[in-house]
Amino acid sequence: MVKLNSIVRFLNKELNVRKILDSSRNGLQVKTNKDIKKIGFAVDACLSTFEKAKKAKVDLLIVHHGLKWKGQKYKEITKKRENFLKKNKIALYGCHLPLDAHKRYGNNIKLCEILNLQKVKRFGKYHKTTIGFQGEFQKAKSIRVIANVLNKTLKTKTNIYPFGKNKIKKIAICSGYGIDLLEEAVKKGVDLFIVGETDHNSVNRTKDYKINVIEAGHYATETVGVKALMPLIKEKFNIQTRFIDNPTGL
């Protein structure tokens, strides 16, 4: 068993949660008084995830999309979710932008590793923090070959918007709703921008800019960060870990 505060202190330092400006209130969001025997990792703080965590006998749940945000919306359902956790003595730790941006365990660096990109560097200014990455293939590839790698590795179904070059070498990546950074991708001259989610108007902008975009799934692109934390926490605290899979289909 491990003290909750020990895990929280370690994560706060490792993920730099106090140094990154974010609308999420990153860190410990729901407390429990009991010691931690088993930790769950998930993308979203929602009732269906919590129900799976309870079934898995999780004492602490670490998520990417937490419960508490600045300018809190949807207060009624948020209270219902928080009450479920408290009733079942499950602690909640949320880490949003710090887990997108992290250079070792972040969503975006892990997507770079999946594609085996070279010359990787920072990309994507959001809320005064650079949260994405960009890199290059050693040899140019087609957009469908890249999409197939993502489909297979992330167990997702990508949407392809092939409005740019046929052969792709330079790529920018921003998980989740990364399409907000489309203009920066255009300015940086990348051949392909990989995001989790886009929208109707952004597809038209993509077409007008004549740039390729792959939409790989908001959920799928943000599973890789929490999964990357699992072996780190397991080894550090000699504790059981479990990924709680709860896809939305988006």
Assess whether 76 and 130 both reside in one domain. no
Of the candidates 115, 223, 102, the one whose C-alpha atom is nearest the C-alpha of residue 169 is: 115
Please check whether residue 199 is in contact with residue 179, taking contact to mean a CB–CB distance below 8 angstroms: yes
Assess whether 167 and 84 both reside in one domain. no
Assess whether 180 and 70 both reside in one domain. no
Domain membership flag for residue 24: yes
DSSP letter (8 states) at residue 24: B
Q: What is the pLDDT of residue 127?
A: 82
Domain boundary among 95, 118, 144: 95
Assess whether 182 and 211 both reside in one domain. yes
Assess whether 166 and 66 both reside in one domain. no
Q: How far, in Å, CA of 73 to CA of 81, rounded?
A: 13
Assess whether 70 and 122 both reside in one domain. no
- 197: how many CB neighbours lie within 10 A of its CB? 19
Exposed, middle or buried by CB within 10 Å (0-12, 13-18, 19+), for 246?
Answer: middle
Assess whether 110 and 138 both reside in one domain. yes
Domain membership flag for residue 79: yes
Domain membership flag for residue 46: yes
Domain membership flag for residue 38: yes
- Give 118's contacts (C-beta < 8 A, 6+ positions apart): 135, 136, 137, 138
Assess whether 119 and 66 both reside in one domain. no
Q: How far, in Å, CA of 178 to CA of 126, rounded?
A: 10
Assess whether 177 and 199 both reside in one domain. yes
Domain boundary among 33, 63, 95: 95
Assess whether 64 and 110 both reside in one domain. no
Assess whether 128 and 31 both reside in one domain. no
- The pLDDT tens digits of the residues spanning 127-175 come to 889 999 999 999 999 999 999 999 999 999 999 999 999 999 999 999 9
In the block, tokens 């792959």 appear at 214
Domain membership flag for residue 237: no
Tokens of residue 37, six digits:
């025997």
Domain membership flag for residue 233: no
Assess whether 116 and 202 both reside in one domain. yes
Domain membership flag for residue 240: no
Helix H or strand E segment including 192: strand 192-195
- Give 14's contacts (C-beta < 8 A, 6+ positions apart): 105, 232
27: left (phi over 0), alpha (psi -120 to 50) or beta: left
Domain membership flag for residue 15: yes
The CATH number given to whatever domain includes residue 169 is: 3.40.1390.30
Sequence-separated contacts (24+) of 228-234 with Cβ below 8 Å: 228/104, 228/105, 228/106, 228/110, 229/41, 229/62, 229/99, 229/105, 230/41, 232/14, 232/105, 233/7, 233/39, 233/62
Structural domain for 62, as ranges: 4-95
**Number of independent structural domains in the chain:** 2
Dihedral of CA 179/180/183/184: which sign? Answer: negative
Domain boundary among 78, 95, 112: 95
How do the pLDDT tens digits run along the chain, 250 residues long?
899 999 999 999 999 999 999 999 999 999 999 899 999 999 999 999 999 999 999 999 999 999 999 998 899 999 999 999 999 999 999 999 999 999 999 999 999 999 999 999 999 999 889 999 999 999 999 999 999 999 999 999 999 999 999 999 999 999 999 999 999 999 999 999 999 999 999 999 999 999 999 999 999 999 999 999 999 999 999 999 999 999 999 9
- Give 154's contacts (C-beta < 8 A, 6+ positions apart): 114, 216, 217, 220, 221, 223, 224
